[in-house]
Amino acid sequence: MAKAKKGDKVKVHYTGKLTDGEQFDSSVGREPLSFTVGAGQMIKGFDDAIPGMEPGEKKTIKIMPADAYGEINEEAIIEFPRKEIPNTMEITEGMRLQLNGNSGQPIPVVVKEIKEDVIILDANHHLAGKELIFDIELVGID
């Protein structure tokens, strides 16, 4: 039977969990995820787990932050002047917002803390700094 290798287009089912068992994503009940192995379409640790797998094979992998969404970047935690937020907008901790970067690109952020003059926003990916566990099943190789 053929084994997946770099450059193959593959289909996988997966379930992603944190180390405490909390599930953050899954393809179960949906179409399998399709991607090209080694093309940089997936986080590195997930991509690296596929070569050598055969269709129908299942495995569980643990991915460290460096091979997932990276460590938490302190420079991505910013103080935003409270006066620049419209008075009509109610802000709460944990709220997800979107800022616009210098060239207009959207930057998703989470409100971490609300202070008198500033709001602390975190632009890190919500899975940054976390070890991830994936249950993977290689469904097919195209």
pLDDT in tens, 37-52: 999 999 999 999 999 9
18 and 30 fall within a common domain = yes
Average pLDDT over all residues of the chain: 95
pLDDT at 104 over 90: no
Tell which residue, 54, 115, 64, 59, has the closest CA to residue 85: 115
64 and 89 fall within a common domain = no
3 lies in a domain?
no
56-69 pLDDT tens trace: 999 999 999 999 99
Domain count, the chain: 2
* pTM (2 d.p.): 0.84
Domain that residue 46 falls in: 9-70+127-141
14 and 66 fall within a common domain = yes
60 lies in a domain?
yes
51 and 63 fall within a common domain = yes
Tell which residue, 13, 45, 53, has the closest CA to residue 135: 13
**Domain harbouring 106, CATH code:** 2.40.10.330
